[in-house]
Amino acid sequence: MSQATRILLALLAGLIGGILAARFAPGFAEGAVAVTGPIGSAWLHALQMVIVPLVVALLVTGIAASAQAARAGVVAGRAIVTFVVILWLVTLMAAAVVPLLLELWPLPAEWAEALRQGLGEAEPVGAVPGLAAFFDNIVPTNVVAAAAADAFLPLTVFTMIFAFAVTRLPAEPRTLLVNLFQAIADAMIVIIGWVLLLAPIGIFCLAFGVGASTGTAAFGALAHYIAIVSAIGTIVLIAAYPVGAIGGRVGLARFARAVAPAQAVALSTQSSLASLPAMLRSSEQLGAPAAVSGIVLPIAVAIFRATSPAMNLAVALYVAHLMGVPLGPAQIAAGVATAAITTMGSVSLPGTISFIASTAPVAIAMGLPIEALALLVAVETVPDLFRTVGNVTMDVAVNISVAARTGSVPQTESDALLASAEPHPDPGGDARPRHMSPAGGEP
């Protein structure tokens, strides 16, 4: 049984157990919640303790990998610039669309109130400055104090500047620092792995209290969350089609036919890495030469997650909606910046680890309580399908767009057939990134 399945079953068992206990044995339910509540909180705190060092280490190594790839040549540089532009655009899209969706289809007030009570009326993590103070405080005066206060946006800005500075060092100290932060990230991932071994217990305890307090409202709220967050992934997925058709100078129907096999692999594996061979074949059918695909697609799999910043921000915005926390321009700006910047640090991690490492910094930067994330991670399997398919589709779209800008994509169906009939070298080669895990999960 996979870890995601165990976590989902623990969530269901906790919710159903809490609902039944509250209905048929209220006295027992009250006593049980007094025990399960602290256990669930302790498990959540164990996850929180590694977030700061993990995000800092992953951001440094992610930027270092991007800079190294950009130095590989013009094709890699164009690809990375395209990646960055798309990541910021989809993040801004989520900031505009999610509040609109929640206004048109809000979570029923009684469900939200019941869940807030079940989660113990969690308080926001910290005060978020007004818009003027936001720009004044975006650069930290004391990075240690920012880390201690969970001020993730200024901490992220400092880490980004530090990471770019590392890329300008001579080879020996640069390699030393990157390896150090890679080791820190690996150690944090090991710790999170240990904590997640206890996830069924922690989530069961948290879910028991929620079920006892909310009844069946918890199931409706989780379904509502899945629909809202998956809708953002669907928008990114749909946007990949015009990106591929217009940027790659191919017909929309032709792009859709070529990318469909890669999407099928993505659905079945929930892994961009496992979909890489299928993406290479799809790109070849669209006329992208192996010389371009062998550079762009491995880089895309390593550092590019088209759906991640948008869906991570959507999770944070949903938590604000769920917990009744009003958001102003400063909070949304903090969420957008944190989501867009940190997305390159969440690559190649198993799904549950990626979800915590990617969404918690965004929520904390916006001043939101993160207790709800412990429940939302249990149903991440469904949104993760949209993440993976959207990522794979956009990877192919960017690949053929970069190829078209180098004059490498045939302009007609007959040209594409002639190009695909020519012998091609192995597109994989040594370009495949080494620090990638085949585990599913795309946040």
3-state secondary structure 392-441: HHHHHHHHHHHHHHCCCCCCCHHHHHHHHHCCCCCCCHHHCCCCCCCCCC
Whole-angstrom CA distances from 142 to 154, 320, 408 are: 9, 28, 49
Whether 440 is in a domain gets the answer no
> What is the domain count for the chain?
1
CATH number of the domain to which 178 belongs? 1.10.3860
Instruction: Count other Cβ atoms within 10 Å, centred on residue 429.
Output: 11
Structure tokens at 365: 């930067």
Whether 436 is in a domain gets the answer no
Whether 331 is in a domain gets the answer yes
Write the DSSP symbol of residue 169.
S
Whether 437 is in a domain gets the answer no
Instruction: Count other Cβ atoms within 10 Å, centred on residue 299.
Output: 26
N- to C-terminal Cα distance for the chain? Answer: 21
CA within 13 Å, CB half, 286 = 39
Whether 362 is in a domain gets the answer yes
Provide the whole-model pTM: 0.76
Distant-in-sequence, close-in-space partners of 91: CB < 8 Å, separation ≥ 6: 309, 310, 313, 336, 339, 340
- Residue 420's domain comprises 3-431
Count the residues in the chain.
443
Whether 441 is in a domain gets the answer no
Whether 443 is in a domain gets the answer no
CA nearest neighbour of 396 among 309, 317, 312, 284: 284
pLDDT tens for the chain, residues 1 to 443: 677 788 888 888 888 888 888 888 888 888 888 888 888 888 878 877 887 888 888 888 878 877 776 666 778 788 888 998 999 999 999 999 999 999 999 888 877 777 776 665 555 444 545 555 555 666 777 787 777 766 777 888 888 888 889 988 998 999 999 999 989 988 988 888 888 888 888 888 888 887 777 777 778 888 899 999 999 999 999 999 999 999 989 999 999 999 999 999 888 777 787 888 889 999 999 988 888 888 888 888 877 888 989 999 999 999 988 888 888 888 898 889 888 888 765 555 555 667 777 888 888 888 888 778 877 887 887 888 899 899 999 999 999 999 888 765 554 444 444 444 444 444 444 434 444 444 445 55
Which phi and psi angles does 371 have, rounded to 5°?
A: -60, -35
d(CA 443, CA 57): 17
Whether 377 is in a domain gets the answer yes
